Structure 1
Amino acid sequence: MPNQRFYLKLALIAFLILLLLIPQAFMLGLVGERTSWRQQAYSSIEQSWPGMQTLAGPLLTIPYQLSYNVTEQVKDPNGKEREVLREVTETDALYLIPNQLDIASKLQSSLRYRGIYDVPVYSSGLQVKGNFNTHPLLDLIAATKDKKIRWEKPQLSVMVRDQRGIATPPTLQWNGASLAFKPGNNLPGSASAGMHALLPDIDTTQASQLAFAFDLELRGMRSMNFALLAENSAVQLAANWPHPSFSGELLPETREVSATGFNAHWKASSFSYNVSGALEQCRKGECAGLLDRAVGFELIQPVDVYQQSERSIKYAALFIVLTFVVLILFELLKKLRVHPVQYTLVGFALLVFYLLLISLSEHVDFLKAYTVAALASTSLLTLYFGAILHSRQLGLMLGAGLAGLYTLLYVILQAEENALLMGSVLIFVVLALLMLATRHFDWYALTAGSPPSRIASDTDHPVPAIPDDSPVR
């Protein structure tokens, strides 16, 4: 009869653990909901501040008309065929990328708020300079020497992803002359975000180097990228944000990250990207692809509190199972009776830790939120364990063990790259300690209601003494 009651209670506790997985799933859903609200805050700020930026160019466009004669067979009114010459005119454009492109950027970041959520934004001071080689013009003239070319007004185009990010109209220094930029990149098949400048006629009698330079203040949020459309490119970037995440087609060749900001340097050539393919698409009227392949960085938050909270909630079932197993052991060893309602309250107290963690981490540093939530949960359960086990010493022992588990969990949460490994080791160590501590128990005697007896073994290890304090009054 005692065995049946024990197994019935064990089944009831197992069912209770399954029921407690429902509020655990609710906690995970709550994290997802708060994450979506934060994304809505990002979108709200993006409506009134320039979004993620990509700078592409400059790109030199030289439109031209190509005229030539073609011979056609036509029939006269008498039905006789004769040959006639007809002039055909085609409109095309030559797209040139810089022979050398140098970009120096100094980025100042700050935070914008929507409610409790903050989003990193920036203002980047850019110094862009380089030169174009006009030898491709001579190649085009040589390839069409039997045709007539009429050159049209050349232009220099600079593309950005969000037009609102251009704070002040810049001035182009072109081959020793100052020219004004106009809004819109004026390239086909693009969103027209950016700017362009009309250039003086280019000498087509000989190859030359055309130097350019301009300063640009570009605003954006969360990320900044550079599409390196040049034969040879170099980007030197300095920022005051201490938590960059480098992304894009190439990582920086050198980088230095400190508590006050970071510096990074990229170098690339036309061999690093399929620049010719992107230019060919632009020649066909699809210039939007010039923004796709770029290098850059993201301004990430140092601690994603929702990601940390979600990862901690996944260990809730482990905490509940371990706590319930320890309570069952003390029930058997101390000959106590812990009611299923008390198990339920202990499970809810363990889950409240995660609710406190989610809510507090939105307002204070994650470490402070974790510490307060862990202290509150551990203190409550320590008092409750002492009462239901009728022993202050056992309550303190279980509370200390729970505090140790919370400490280990925090260490695992901070070790992002090794979190799975450390979590697996933690589960193995806890299971090993539990098995070693109970390896000499006579479970048949324990579940039958008689005092535990030691199983005979080759080694003589006494069963650890269980504290027998006076009941808590």
Structure 2
Amino acid sequence: METPETPNHVGFFQSNTARLIMVGLLTFALLIPLLFVQNLIEERSQRQKEVISETSGKWGESVYFYGPIVKVPYKAFSEIVTVDEKTKVATTQKSFVTDYAYFFPETLKNQSKVTTTTLNRSTYESTVFTANMAFSGHYGAPDFSPKNIADTDIEWGKATILIQTTNLKSIRNEVKINLGGKMHTFEPVYNSENDSIQALETGFFDASVLKNTGNLPFKFDIVYNGSQQIKIVPIGKTTEAHMTSNWPSPSFTGNFLPGDATKKITDQGFSADWKVLHLNRAFGQQAFEVLPNLAQYAFGVDFIIPVNQYQQNDRAAKYGFLVIGLTFLIFFLIQVISKVRIHIFQYTMIGLALVMFYTLLISITEHSSFGQAYLIAGTSVVLLISLYSVSILKNYKFPLFIAASLSVLYTFIYVIIQLEDFALLFGSIGLFLILAAVMYFSRKIDWNKS
């Protein structure tokens, strides 16, 4: 009579191998709630971006500055030849249109003081700034020779000063330019070709003074309320800019970076200097007919938050699988070493507690700093799992070990989240040490009896 196979099946399901398989499947199953947590973080992050965009839009958007430019109208002649079909006689008609020449300054200097502040709406906050920008420099003599334009065809008395910019609605002062000792007021100009780029333009002035003197100084101030970014086009033959701010985390952007010798960044803010020569960029000091788009040559500063709270929450959630896997591994090794049976339901409760860490983290972060939220959520989960493990393991030695291990693990992940340049290096070394510890503590387990 053959022995029934049932006991062998029961023996397998009670083996460490079967328990390891079930714990592994449970670990993968917990990826589903982790995915929901990541979706929640993305949803809250998107909501934050919408609120920041709305708040910043009311205060002021990014600042782009291209100017000041001397704009001089001139007559451009053309000839139209018509032939009479009957007489075969050709007649020539001469007509003209008004085109414009644009002349950039010989020197352009800028002094900008940018003061940042925080706007709060509900649980969200956005960083905005007020930029006090002072410009000065001088123009040289206009040169119409490239187009062979006669002096009589130039309308010197209808010249204007032009500035292309963004964020007109958030200019805080009346903008007047001192041009050779005479004041001229800028007025807004509608740009039908590009709604995102707006313009300021003065009334007429006699630009023949430029032709006669070849040196016309200017200076003016402009104050912006803005957010996110300031960019300036270096249209001077020599362009120099100096910017100071109380923003401690600037991101220098654009086609030119500030000089390292003069750049200073501290916890109280930054100061930076730029110097751009006409040899450094691929455009001249004048243009005819159409003012070129020189945005690609602009330089400036992004006023950004390096890692905001939702980015930190997202980075923490990405380590969720690692935390769950290592915690289950610790409990499994304790189960094997101590011969205490841990039911799959108990593993599930521990796993759900680990997932709850991330929902606690994101909800508390919205009302405090990420560091405080991480400490509160981490302490709560470590205490919950440690107290629960006392009832499972029936002693205090292993629960204390579990509490210490989880504390080290959460601390390790927090440090990785705070690091930027060395996150990969520190994380790789940490994982190597964790693997070495697991190999050490499991070295005496006889897996052949499992």
Asked whether the equivalents of residues 67 and 148 of structure 1 are also in contact (C-alpha less than 8 Å), the reply is: no
Write the deviation string for residues 101-129 of structure 1: whole angstroms up to 9, x where unpaired: 00001111111122111111111111101
SS of the aligned residue for 2:143 comes to: helix
Written as runs of structure 1 = structure 2, the 5 A alignment for 1:246-325 is 246-253=252-259, 254-276=262-284, 283-284=289-290, 289-301=293-305, 303-325=307-329
Unaligned 5+ runs, structure 2:
1-7
C-alpha distance in 1 between matches for 2:281 and 2:192: 21
Q: Which moved more, 1:328-337 or 1:59-68?
A: 59-68
Name the residue aligned to 2:75.
Answer: 65
Q: Residue 396 and residue 87 in structure 1: after superposition, are their counterparts in 2 closer, same or farther (change >3 A)?
A: same
- Name the TM-score, length of structure 1 as normaliser: 0.86
Name the residue aligned to 2:245.
Answer: 239
Q: Residue 151 and residue 297 in structure 1: after superposition, are their counterparts in 2 closer, same or farther (change >3 A)?
A: same
- Are 2:163 and 1:158 equivalent residues in the alignment? yes
Q: Residue 226 and residue 144 in structure 1: after superposition, are their counterparts in 2 closer, same or farther (change >3 A)?
A: closer
C-alpha distance in 1 between matches for 2:211 and 2:28: 83
Asked whether the equivalents of residues 247 and 303 of structure 2 are also in contact (C-alpha less than 8 Å), the reply is: yes
Asked whether the equivalents of residues 186 and 195 of structure 1 are also in contact (C-alpha less than 8 Å), the reply is: no
Out of 35, 42, 49, the position equivalent to 2:59 is 49
Out of 392, 396, 407, the position equivalent to 1:388 is 392
Asked whether the equivalents of residues 103 and 142 of structure 2 are also in contact (C-alpha less than 8 Å), the reply is: no
Name the residue aligned to 2:116.
Answer: 109
SS of the aligned residue for 2:247 comes to: coil
Asked whether the equivalents of residues 225 and 297 of structure 1 are also in contact (C-alpha less than 8 Å), the reply is: yes
C-alpha distance in 2 between matches for 1:330 and 1:263: 56
SS of the aligned residue for 2:280 comes to: coil
Q: Percent identity between the aligned chains?
A: 28
C-alpha distance in 1 between matches for 2:22 and 2:303: 50
C-alpha distance in 2 between matches for 1:347 and 1:112: 39
- Are 2:450 and 1:442 equivalent residues in the alignment? no
SS of the aligned residue for 1:271 comes to: helix
Written as runs of structure 1 = structure 2, the 5 A alignment for 1:11-160 is 11-67=21-77, 70=79, 72=81, 74-75=83-84, 77=86, 79=87, 81-137=88-144, 139-140=145-146, 143-145=148-150, 149-151=153-155, 153-160=158-165
SS of the aligned residue for 2:153 comes to: strand
Out of 404, 409, 414, the position equivalent to 1:410 is 414
Q: Residue 255 and residue 418 in structure 1: after superposition, are their counterparts in 2 closer, same or farther (change >3 A)?
A: same
Q: Give the drift of 1:303.
A: 4.1
- Name the TM-score, length of structure 2 as normaliser: 0.90
Asked whether the equivalents of residues 113 and 131 of structure 2 are also in contact (C-alpha less than 8 Å), the reply is: yes
Write the deviation string for residues 24-67 of structure 1: whole angstroms up to 9, x where unpaired: 11111111111100011012213422111111111111111134
Unaligned 5+ runs, structure 1:
448-473
Asked whether the equivalents of residues 135 and 207 of structure 1 are also in contact (C-alpha less than 8 Å), the reply is: no
- For the aligned residues, what is the CA RMSD? 2.4
Asked whether the equivalents of residues 61 and 93 of structure 1 are also in contact (C-alpha less than 8 Å), the reply is: yes
Asked whether the equivalents of residues 357 and 369 of structure 1 are also in contact (C-alpha less than 8 Å), the reply is: yes
Q: 2:253 is aligned with what amino acid?
A: S
Name the residue aligned to 2:201.
Answer: 196
Asked whether the equivalents of residues 56 and 128 of structure 2 are also in contact (C-alpha less than 8 Å), the reply is: no
Q: 1:224 is aligned with what amino acid?
A: I
SS of the aligned residue for 2:421 comes to: coil
Name the residue aligned to 2:378.
Answer: 374
SS of the aligned residue for 1:275 comes to: coil
SS of the aligned residue for 1:198 comes to: coil
Asked whether the equivalents of residues 72 and 154 of structure 2 are also in contact (C-alpha less than 8 Å), the reply is: no
Q: Give the drift of 1:227.
A: 1.7
Written as runs of structure 1 = structure 2, the 5 A alignment for 1:174-213 is 174-184=179-189, 191=196, 193-203=198-208, 206=212, 208-213=214-219
